[in-house]
Amino acid sequence: MYTIMTVCTGNICRSPMAEIVLRKYVEDAGLADRVQVKSSAVSSEEHGNPIDRRAQRALRARGYELPAHHFAHRITRDEIDETDLFLPMTASHKSALLRQIPSSDASEVHMYRSFDPKLPAVSAAQESRIDLVDPWYGGPEDFEIALDQIEEVAPYIVDWVSTQLDE
């Protein structure tokens, strides 16, 4: 199985939202038998917590099915070893992730929004310009914005993964 790993700070908002959305797009593309989508964190500060209630509300409002259980956790060595595509939500997540994975896996790390052809290509020093919005300190509208950004890019990620599977 080709494994996609979405990554954020605590694995309670952005990365599980992206996991759920991407999984739906993978299923809709008929790739569920070849691609799995998971999520994790670069820290253990939310270890064991469920998906944030505000993220759950935003996902449900758009018709996404939530997993029966979500266990927020820091990415594990086994997950690193089995992942083919790492999708950090922000430049700071990418930086933290690159410190946790073998340098030989660095080419498998791509900013989530870097797949959006409508966004300008950015250098490594400018990657924070394409960060996925952080809804944590905001209200419901910030979760909607984050979900908008996640949904906007999901089809491009699935298309890219599909080409990787064909190679």
Catalytic residue (one of 8, 13, 23, 131): 8
Catalytic residue status for 84: no
Distance between CA atoms of 78 and 13, rounded to whole angstroms? 22
Which residue's structure tokens are 């290509």? 121
The encoded tokens of residue 167 equal 């190679």
Catalytic residue status for 134: yes
Catalytic residue (one of 84, 116, 134, 142): 134
Whole-Å CA distances, 19 to 51, 67, 79, 102, 126:
11, 10, 14, 23, 25
Cβ 39 vs Cβ 3: under 8 Å:
no
Residues 63-93 as b or e (16 or more Cβ within 10 Å = b)? ebeeeeebebbbbeeebbeebbbbbbbbbbb
Distance between CA atoms of 43 and 38, rounded to whole angstroms? 16
Residues designated catalytic: 8, 14, 134
